[in-house]
Amino acid sequence: MNAPLLHAAPQVQIDGLTLAYDKKAAPVLRGLDWTLKPGQVVGLLGRNGAGKTTLLEALLGLREPQSGTVQLFGQAANALDDAARARIGYVPQGSDLFENLTPAQLLAYFKAFYPRWNQAKVDGLMARWAIPADQAIGKLSGGQQQRLSIIRALAHEPDLLILDEPVASLDPIGRRDFLRELVDHVINRGTTVVFSTHILSDLERVAFNVAFLKDGQIALQSPLDELLEQTRRVTGEATAVAAFAKAHQLATLASQAAQPGQSRLVLRGSWPEALPEALLLQTVTLDDLFEVLT
């Protein structure tokens, strides 16, 4: 997997994004800041209704925020020129395909818009994923439509690929094939990828970074390995846990239910070699992190 070019100019730069559907209710996105560098692969995590789709649509300039700015490749997301637009691939959560066209007609239509269209890749994926080229899209199964949407998004070899729950209606074989395509041919050529999913095991296979969306903001973004390495659940007598966290400057990610007089904290930081015997330290999984950070 390519290392992200962390010194390079960001491909996505979001500053102070606030977006509400209903002016009377709390906004879905609340002053959100987010930066994606070229080659970064980020899994976007959040509970149902947290605002992942809203964020991805705003990122693509498809939703007008109340305040804040979104820049893609240094241009305003809602006023991209054609060259910048051609560098983006998007697989939306629902099908946005023209139901009366056939897959062959749809792909021929999109081919005309993209200078960098890889027909060999399209033909290969259409055959491998067994999509009937000449049947109306409306008559394909949900999984077949999702595969077609993925082929359409990959065909022009985008530099920025936005995937909103791309595997939701794929069977296990389809998911495995898609993840393999993503790792072997998309991530390896340095594409910046944002991938929202609720299937955490998929994310562990693909995403180098994870970003947690909570209360309308990116609560935390980190390389996944680093985050798992740095985080432990610590249980013990409340004052001893607090003193330990303070002494080693560990950040509290969450406080969980414990026996009276005890506390159980999820702490993040760099851990000392020698650990006090009175405290119980446990490693955490991505599922645990999802629970405490979303």
Ligand X SMILES: Nc1ncnc2c1ncn2[C@@H]1O[C@H](COP(=O)(O)OP(=O)(O)OP(=O)(O)O)[C@@H](O)[C@H]1O
CB of 49 or CB of 260, closer to ligand X: 49
Binding flag, residue 24, ligand X (CB under 6 A): no
Binding flag, residue 48, ligand X (CB under 6 A): yes
CB of 46 or CB of 236, closer to ligand X: 46
For residue 255, the tally of other CB atoms under 10 A from its CB is: 12
Residue type, 269: G
Binding flag, residue 50, ligand X (CB under 6 A): yes
46-54, 108-116, 260-268, 270-278 -> range binding ligand X (CB under 6 A)? 46-54
Of the residues 49, 115, 172, 260, which one makes contact with ligand X according to CB under 6 A = 49
Shortest spacing between CB 194 and ligand X, in angstroms = 13
Of the residues 54, 144, 221, 231, which one makes contact with ligand X according to CB under 6 A = 54
| Contact assessment for residue 39 and residue 191, using Cβ atoms and an 8 Å cutoff | yes
| Contact assessment for residue 12 and residue 84, using Cβ atoms and an 8 Å cutoff | no
CB of 29 or CB of 266, closer to ligand X: 29
Shortest spacing between CB 93 and ligand X, in angstroms = 6
DSSP string, the chain: -PPP-TTSPPSEEEEEEEE-SSTTSPPSEEEEEEEE-TT-EEEEE--TTSSHHHHHHHHTT-S--SEEEEEETTEEGGG--HHHHTTEEEE-SS--S-TTS-HHHHHHHHHTT-TT--HHHHHHHHHHTT--TTS-GGGS-HHHHHHHHHHHHHTT--SEEEEESTTTT--HHHHHHHHHHIIIIIGGGT-EEEEE-S-HHHHHHH-SEEEEEETTEEEEEEEHHHHHHHEEEEEEEHHHHHHHHHHTT-EEEEEE--STTEEEEEEESPPPSS--TTSEEEE--HHHHHHHH-
Shortest spacing between CB 207 and ligand X, in angstroms = 16
- C-alpha distance from residue 6 to each of 10, 35, 39, 124 (Å): 8, 11, 9, 33
Shortest spacing between CB 166 and ligand X, in angstroms = 12
CB of 110 or CB of 290, closer to ligand X: 290
CB of 164 or CB of 288, closer to ligand X: 164
| Contact assessment for residue 118 and residue 155, using Cβ atoms and an 8 Å cutoff | yes
45-53, 147-155, 226-234, 247-255 -> range binding ligand X (CB under 6 A)? 45-53
Binding flag, residue 21, ligand X (CB under 6 A): yes
Shortest spacing between CB 213 and ligand X, in angstroms = 7
Of the residues 38, 46, 158, 174, which one makes contact with ligand X according to CB under 6 A = 46
Shortest spacing between CB 52 and ligand X, in angstroms = 4
Shortest spacing between CB 91 and ligand X, in angstroms = 14
CB of 122 or CB of 161, closer to ligand X: 161
Of the residues 53, 146, 209, 263, which one makes contact with ligand X according to CB under 6 A = 53
Binding flag, residue 51, ligand X (CB under 6 A): yes
CB of 50 or CB of 267, closer to ligand X: 50
Binding site for ligand X (CB under 6 A): 21, 28, 46, 48-54
